[in-house]
Structure formats: C-alpha cells, structure tokens
C-alpha cells in the first residue's frame, strides 16, 4: 500500500510525516526517524518493508513541514538538536505520542528505529524514559550530553554500528557500553567489522562522501536483528 500523509505537531510547529499501513494491522507499530536531511528513500524503503511484515510504520518529521534540508541549514539543525538533548527528546517524543494516539495502534506495542541522526534520536527517546517497548539505532551517534541514569530507560535497546565508521569512534562505542551497563539497561550492540557510516543506505554513494558506504551484508544482519527485536518486544506484525 502507498504511504499516506501524517500531520502532527510539537509545541505549535506543524510536522508532516508519512504512515505506511500493512494490509492487516494488529496494533503493532514502529516509529522511523530519518537521517540528517529529512524523510527520504532510505526511510521510505524501510517503512515499506516493515509494513510488508504487518507493522504500522510511521516516518516522523524532525525538521517541520516535511522539509528536507541540506548544506548549512541542515548542519545548523543538527547542531541545535545535538547541543540540546531535551529539545531533541521533545521532538522525537512528539512523533512517538502521535503514533501511539493513532486509531488502530496499541500504545503498549510501539517501537522506534532510526538511521544516522535518527539513530541518535531514538536513543535519546529511550534515555528520556519514554514508554517505548524497544528502540534500534543504525549507524547513529551513540553518546549523549545527558547520559541515561539507573532506572531511566524502559525500552530494550539495540545499537548497530560500523567498526570503521569515523563518526562513531571506538571510544564512543566503549562509552555507550559503559553508560548502558551503569544504567541497568537491557541493551544489545552489533558491530560490523568492515562497515562505514550509513551502511544501510543503498543510495549513499551518490553523496560522494568517503566516510559512508553501503554494506549489503551488514544491512542484512542489522535487519535480521531488528526483526528479531520487534518480534520479541511488540510481537509479530503479521499476527
């Protein structure tokens, strides 16, 4: 089925995402957070795959108006989010709450996933204590200016990263593990030994950025881990 427009808001800012519905929904839903620029092909393809498995998949809008940013405007938006965890958490929580309130969604069976910037965003959603069943971050930044404290995180957490990703150095991976342990989180870490940044994005070569490359096998392993996580936490979308 095709995507439908989805409008919600954050403090008066109109946000325009997309809903991808399965043929036979059963209440299980997944919030999907986009990369730095905005909702694009990588998010849409993953939403379509989730819908094909029976999940209601909602592509959230983090910039407002469904905008896709680039250049200095995109970098400024990222800096604002990264430097202000409460702001980032509020924006992603707006999408989570809106999804939980949709007709046909069981609020107890909602997960959140994200790619690059979106991966960072869903980790902040978990750190905020939101009642999300599970979060999965794919090649997102792993550290936070407001690390989780014991008892904060209610979600099961999956983080998948590339060992060769220059944006997520080994020190950040180690810091993430220590943060999760200290906070008592049910966490899982998947490190792909040869993967760079954006390894799930089949179209990333078009950006011409040597820090990024598609890795089909790492993508396949990450997808398998995700579908297992979803089945264990919110149930199979198909039944």
> Which residues have CB under 8 Å from 10's CB, separation 6+?
90, 91, 94
pLDDT value for 239 = 63
**Token pair of 19 as six digits:** 């809903």
Question: Is residue 238 domain-resident?
Answer: no
Beta carbons of 34 and 59 less than 8 angstroms apart: yes
- pLDDT cut 70: percent of the chain above it: 99
Domain that holds residue 222: 4-233
Question: Is residue 185 domain-resident?
Answer: yes
Beta carbons of 216 and 139 less than 8 angstroms apart: no
Beta carbons of 192 and 163 less than 8 angstroms apart: yes
The 10s digit of each residue's pLDDT in 142-196 is 999 999 999 999 999 999 999 999 999 999 999 999 999 999 999 999 999 999 9
Instruction: Find the CATH number of the domain harbouring 10.
Output: 3.40.50.1820
What is the domain count for the chain? 1
Beta carbons of 34 and 85 less than 8 angstroms apart: no
Tell me: pLDDT of 86 over 70.
Answer: yes
Of the pLDDT bands very low, low, confident and very high (cuts 50, 70, 90), residue 2 is confident
**For residues 239 and 175, which has the higher predicted lDDT (pLDDT)?**
175
Question: Is residue 180 domain-resident?
Answer: yes
**Token pair of 77 as six digits:** 């938006």
Tell me: pLDDT of 238 over 90.
Answer: no
The mean per-residue pLDDT over the stretch 90-99 comes to 98
Of the pLDDT bands very low, low, confident and very high (cuts 50, 70, 90), residue 127 is very high
The mean per-residue pLDDT over the stretch 90-104 comes to 97
Question: Is residue 195 domain-resident?
Answer: yes
Of the pLDDT bands very low, low, confident and very high (cuts 50, 70, 90), residue 1 is low
Question: Is residue 11 domain-resident?
Answer: yes
Question: Is residue 239 domain-resident?
Answer: no
Tell me: pLDDT of 64 over 80.
Answer: yes
Local structure of 8: helix, strand or coil: strand
Mean pLDDT, all residues of the chain: 97
């Amino acid at each position: 089925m095709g995507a439908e427009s989805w409008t919600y808001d954050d403090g008066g800012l109109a946000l325009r995402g997309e809903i991808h519905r399965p043929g036979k929904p059963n209440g299980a839903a997944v919030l999907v957070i986009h990369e730095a620029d905005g909702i694009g092909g990588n998010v849409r393809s993953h939403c379509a795959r989730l819908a094909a498995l029976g999940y209601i998949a909602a592509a959230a809008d983090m910039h407002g108006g469904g905008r896709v940013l680039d250049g200095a405007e995109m970098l400024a938006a990222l800096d604002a989010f990264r430097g202000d965890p409460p702001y980032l958490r509020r924006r992603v929580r707006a999408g989570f709450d809106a999804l939980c309130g949709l007709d046909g969604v069981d609020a107890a069976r909602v997960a959140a996933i994200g790619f690059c910037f979106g991966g960072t965003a869903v980790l902040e959603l978990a750190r905020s204590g939101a009642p999300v069943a599970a979060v999965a971050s794919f090649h997102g930044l792993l550290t936070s200016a407001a690390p989780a404290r014991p008892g904060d995180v209610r979600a099961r957490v999956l983080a998948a990263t590339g060992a060769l990703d220059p944006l997520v150095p080994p020190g950040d991976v180690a810091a993430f593990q220590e943060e999760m342990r200290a906070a008592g989180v049910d966490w899982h870490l998947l490190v792909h030994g040869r993967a760079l940044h954006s390894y799930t994005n089949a179209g990333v070569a078009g950006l011409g950025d040597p820090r990024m490359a598609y890795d089909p096998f790492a993508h396949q392993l990450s997808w398998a881990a995700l579908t297992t996580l979803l089945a264990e936490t919110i149930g199979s979308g198909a039944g």
